Structure 1
Amino acid sequence: MPNKKIAVGQPIEARCTKCRANTEHVIVTLLEEAPLKVQCGQCERQHKYRPPSVPKKPSVRKKADPRVAERKEWETLRPAMNSDAARDYSMTGAYKVKSLINHPVFGLGLVQRVVGARKVEVLFEEGKKTMRCG
């Protein structure tokens, strides 16, 4: 890319300190072949040359994974759980909050809340599951 020779009076794109935008400017003074002072073409204000700003990429906010919080909760509750006191899970069984159950697939779980008449929410090592009950 060839270097263009710049001179006083030439147009140049710069960031205007008053308009707060990249606008067309005119070079007023130079210092060692670099623009020192420019004049905005919109507001006609003279100021130091500031190169045009690059637009920022919009930040993408990542949602927190609920499984991470559930795993931390599991890790804090696990030491207090007595696996010998856990009942085997049955879809016809009745469960109360803080009951320990032993599921054949998910393993040891703690009933977190009763959801309606026939469902409970259980915290297992791999996360919360809604289970059917009697």
Structure 2
Amino acid sequence: MSTTKKYQVGEEITSVCTKCKLPLDHTIAAMVGERVAKVQCKTCGGLHRYVNPAAGESPARKAAKQTKLEHAWEQLVQSSSSKKKQPYTFAGPFKQNDLIDHAQFGLGVVTQRLSWDKIQVTFKEGEKILLSKRKVQ
């Protein structure tokens, strides 16, 4: 005999809110068979997939993902280490492979210029899109 509760659309359930990043009360918005698919947060109103608060990511998988990300970041920094790091400013004339020092995110490498005023930068914690205007020459 199964002890799994059968849920229905409109019922209340606890889910990790993907916006608030906390386990909060949600209303079930959609089901796929007997599985809760979509929920709406009662705190922020966000509609997102159901995330079981008891499941969580396994510590081993999380550590492996972090190690892989840090290794890729270290390789980028080493390939750009011949250049002097520049402090990040909105008006900085950054180009690909420049090493920058951001006040909040730390050391990063410009991996791509996305447009005339945006750059993609890889930091130890991941990629960020930052503003950067080229100087008029």
Q: Which category of TM-score, normalised to the shorter sequence, fits these structures? A: 0.3 to 0.5
Which structure has the greater CA radius of gyration? 1
TM-score, normalisation: structure 1:
0.45
TM-score, normalisation: structure 2:
0.44
